């Protein structure tokens, strides 16, 4: 059982480049979300989804896009990377019907130069 | 909006001793969950313990226990018999009970160092 899988684990981008952070879960969870972790600021919610075809903004959505075409996948797109997006990104999932525990991926360390 | 405050950026404890990490929160909700997550150097987010606000009994998980004071909006984590493997960043987090998807609000974390 793989749980929540994030790729890549590390990425370096130049300012203005675009890229997609991948997130997949094999637990048939309805809820998925993206967080970013910055030093001294804890984790902050970027976007979340309550099911395929449904997404919504979190606390810090600017500069990011998401889509949820399947239950399993929830990619995060950086449209035009900026140094302020240098961070560690976590994807998480949760079952709507089986408790409140959040399952986290192992994170992606992103550096924007 | 909810806020979570962890006022201790760093703490140190000797092996086998007991340490308490503080967390306070602010919310107008009456029903919610509180969590403590551990993040070791591997970066993985590990759920340590959770508490449902409508339960008066404090949650315990082996060497980990909480002191939940709902009226004071306080949720501290006690680690007994500290071990070197407890060295990590610890985050307190809040989640509303229903209609919340995966919307956790985190504190800024406490870095715990366990020493010999």
- Test B107 with A42 for CB contact under 8 angstroms: yes
Mean pLDDT confidence for A83-88: 97
What's the rounded Cα separation, in Å, for the pair B82 and B97?
Answer: 31
Q: Give which of B35, B33, B46 is closest to B89, Cα–Cα.
A: B46
Q: Judged by CB atoms within 8 Å, which residues 23-42 of A form the interface with B?
A: 31-33, 35, 40-42
Identify all chain A residues contacting B93, using CB atoms and an 8 Å cutoff. 43
Q: Does position B97 have pLDDT exceeding 80, yes or no?
A: no
Mean pLDDT confidence for B27-34: 90
Interface test with B, best of A3, A4, A42 (most B CBs within 10 A): A42
Mean residue pLDDT across chain A: 94
Task: Output the pLDDT for position B110.
Answer: 97
Model pLDDT for residues B37-88, shown as the tens digit of each residue: 999 999 999 999 999 999 889 999 999 999 999 999 999 999 999 999 999 9
Model pLDDT for residues A34-81, shown as the tens digit of each residue: 999 998 888 999 999 999 999 999 999 999 999 999 999 999 999 999
Q: Does position B100 have pLDDT exceeding 80, yes or no?
A: no
Beta bridge partners of A6: A23
Task: Output the pLDDT for position B102.
Answer: 66
Identify which of A31, A42, A94 has the shortest CB distance to residue B91.
A42
Q: To the nearest whole percent, how much of chain B has pLDDT over 90?
A: 84
Q: For residue A14, give every residue at least 6 positions away whose Cβ sits within 8 Å of its Cβ, in sequence order, or none.
A: A81, A112, A113
What's the rounded Cα separation, in Å, for the pair B2 and B26?
Answer: 6
- Test A43 with B108 for CB contact under 8 angstroms: no
* Band of residue A21 on the pLDDT scale cut at 50, 70, 90: very high
Identify all chain A residues contacting B103, using CB atoms and an 8 Å cutoff. 33, 45, 48, 58
Q: Does position B99 have pLDDT exceeding 70, yes or no?
A: no
- Test A106 with B102 for CB contact under 8 angstroms: no
């Amino acid at each position: 059982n793989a749980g929540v899988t994030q790729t890549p684990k590390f990425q370096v981008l130049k300012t203005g480049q675009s890229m997609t952070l991948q997130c997949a879960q094999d637990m048939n969870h309805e809820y998925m979300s993206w967080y970013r972790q910055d030093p001294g600021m804890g984790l902050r919610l970027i976007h979340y989804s309550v099911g395929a075809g449904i997404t919504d903004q979190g606390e810090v959505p600017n500069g990011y896009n998401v889509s949820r075409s399947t239950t399993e996948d929830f990619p995060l797109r950086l449209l035009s990377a900026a140094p302020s997006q240098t961070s560690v990104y976590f994807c998480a999932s949760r079952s709507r019907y089986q408790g409140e525990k959040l399952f986290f991926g192992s994170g992606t360390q992103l550096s924007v130069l | 909006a909810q806020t979570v405050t962890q006022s201790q950026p760093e703490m140190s404890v000797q092996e086998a001793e007991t340490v308490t990490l503080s967390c306070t929160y602010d919310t107008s909700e009456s029903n919610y969950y509180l969590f403590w997550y551990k993040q070791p150097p591997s970066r993985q987010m590990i759920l340590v313990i959770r508490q449902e606000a409508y339960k008066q009994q404090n949650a315990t998980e082996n060497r980990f226990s909480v002191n939940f004071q709902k009226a004071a909006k306080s949720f501290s984590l006690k680690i007994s018999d500290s071990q070197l493997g407890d060295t990590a960043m610890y985050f307190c987090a809040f989640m509303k009970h229903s209609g919340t998807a995966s919307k956790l609000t985190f504190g800024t974390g406490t870095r715990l160092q366990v020493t010999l």
